[in-house]
Amino acid sequence: MFENKVIYQIYPKSFNDTTGNGYGDINGIIEKLDYIQDLGVDYIWLSPCCMSPQKDNGYDISDYVTIDPLFGTNEDYQRLITQAKARGMKIMMDLVLNHTSSEHEWFKKALQKDPKYYDYYIWQDAPNAIESFFGGSAWTYSKEVGKYYLHLFDSSQPDLNWANPAVRKDIYDMINYWIDKGVEGFRLDVIYLIGKEPDKLITGHGPKFIEYLKELNENTFQDKLLTVGECWGTSLEEQYKMCHDKGLSEAFHFNHFLLNTADGKDKWHTKELDLKELCDCFDTWQNEYTGVEALVTGSHDAPRMISRWLNDTQYRMQSSKLLITLFGLMAGDLYIYQGEEIGMTNAHWHDINKYNDVETLNAYELLKEQGFDEKTIMEKIAFTSRDNARVPMQWNDTSNAGFTTGNPWLDVVDNYTHVNALRDLTNELGVYKYYQKVIKFRKEHYDWIKQKAKFSEDNGVLKMEKPKFTLVANFTDQKQAHDLGSTGDVLFNNYSKVEKQLMPYQVVVVCNK
């Protein structure tokens, strides 16, 4: 039912500003709907637009049913739903159900020891060993309450107590409010954390997680809407449990993202991509998983993949085309993050003052405490920070990349003068038009794509063999030999011709005779 869909993720704060205040807005998204539609998109996923103090860029919600004036009004959001639907696209809302903002009315009442809302959150007399994903203890002391509250992220994001039925009911009522407004898909932020048992030091995939997930579905989505959960590093077994028998439609596992992380280290300590490990990852999820895979090459929570895996300067366009060819010809639902379709890159900033992300700023201080020098710290941040993907969309080569007439909340990337949508759209060999071609092929030949695949690696060349076609992709900056076997028609090629050797970052797909 929800297979072979194309979902385009928008980070509203950075997409298109129509007011000149330096922040993207809902009317700016409406303004660009034709651009998104022409790509071949089925759903538009928006990161949170609800009321928020923006301590974590909207993932700290203070009112679940009111659009933040920063982005517009509830009426603007309703118009977006209507205008998208008129173009054959559906709106996917980002739900943050693990925690709220500390400025949410529920938490304010909890601090007042309100008998109802106190139990909406998780309290302990003393902190235990659970640490925040943003660094440091996951417990903060409240003078008002005289106890510590749990926050797996920033201290301004207290975790909700899903063991409380009243919490769950209020959440279901909120979700049904948006369903009634016409929202037809939901992305569930860090959903794997809702079944936590802090007393037992259990955070992810707790004993009651699947029970809560099924109850959530039964009271809201009822298997009628596309739902995708954010669940980093899940196993096949965990994914199957989440997405089978009235759970989620699908979930991000991000196992391929984690291949850049040094063994036993956190995300700030990285290693080169091992292509053999990547092939093994693809083989597992494409051939062993029985559900629908959420295929993703980027998001607001990760740096640009062409910058972490390939070449984002001399071979930027080839690298962008390689990625969409590889992921676009795999089975599942395809997720595209804003800017990928024009080949946007990491910002590569080496000045901490350029960054806004709370996780990045916390990591900067922690890395200093660990004894790393400034140059090393900034190299790590420039490669890994989430702000690399959160920079403003590059629409043209005018001031601020055409994103805003004011001062952007986050600087634009310096390469916007030659990496922008206007320039790409006027180039028949541009990245955008190549994306269109892949998506069109995907929709017309999904019966070819959904067949089992064999993945292999040889000297930096990845090979994907399916019954109907074979793909070879050179992940290096050197010419490489390739073996396409008995070749038929060339379906895709990010260079002008196919030779006896693959050019740097060349991808070729041929029909099998």
Domain extents in the chain: 6-100+162-346+413-442, 105-150, 449-512
What lies within 8 Å, CB to CB, of 170 at 6+ separation is 106
pLDDT of residue 438: 98
Query: Which residue pairs from 266-274 have beta carbons closer than 8 angstroms and sit at least 24 positions apart in sequence?
Result: 267/384, 268/363, 268/367, 268/380, 268/381, 268/384, 269/380, 270/380, 270/383, 270/384, 273/308, 273/309, 273/475
In the block, which residue shows the tokens 């739903």?
81
The SS3 of residue 123 is strand
pLDDT of residue 486: 62
Instruction: Calculate mean pLDDT across residues 248-259.
Output: 96
In the block, which residue shows the tokens 């954390």?
193
Calpha distance 398→192 (Å, rounded): 42
Tens of pLDDT, residue by residue over 450-464, are 999 999 999 999 999
pLDDT of residue 485: 67
Are 334 and 295 in contact by the 8 Å Cβ rule? The answer is yes
DSSP class per residue in 318-344: HHHHHHHHHHHTSSSEEEEETTGGGT-
pLDDT of residue 507: 98
Instruction: Calculate mean pLDDT across residues 396-423.
Output: 97
Tens of pLDDT, residue by residue over 83-109, are 999 999 999 999 999 999 999 999 999
The SS3 of residue 191 is helix
* pLDDT surpasses 80 at 487: no
pTM above threshold 0.85: yes
Calpha distance 204→192 (Å, rounded): 5
pLDDT of residue 484: 80
Query: Which residues are annotated as catalytic?
Result: 189, 230
- Label residue 429 exposed, middle or buried (CB < 10 Å: 0-12, 13-18, 19+): exposed
6-100+162-346+413-442: what CATH class? Answer: alpha beta
Q: Which fold has domain 449-512?
A: Immunoglobulin-like (2.60.40)
The SS3 of residue 219 is helix
CA atoms within 13 A on the CB side of 14: 26
Q: In this structure, what DSSP letter does residue 391 have? A: S
Q: Which CATH architecture has domain 105-150?
A: Alpha-Beta Complex (3.90)
Quote the tokens at residue 489: 């028609």
Closest CA to 413 of 435, 434, 382, 384: 382
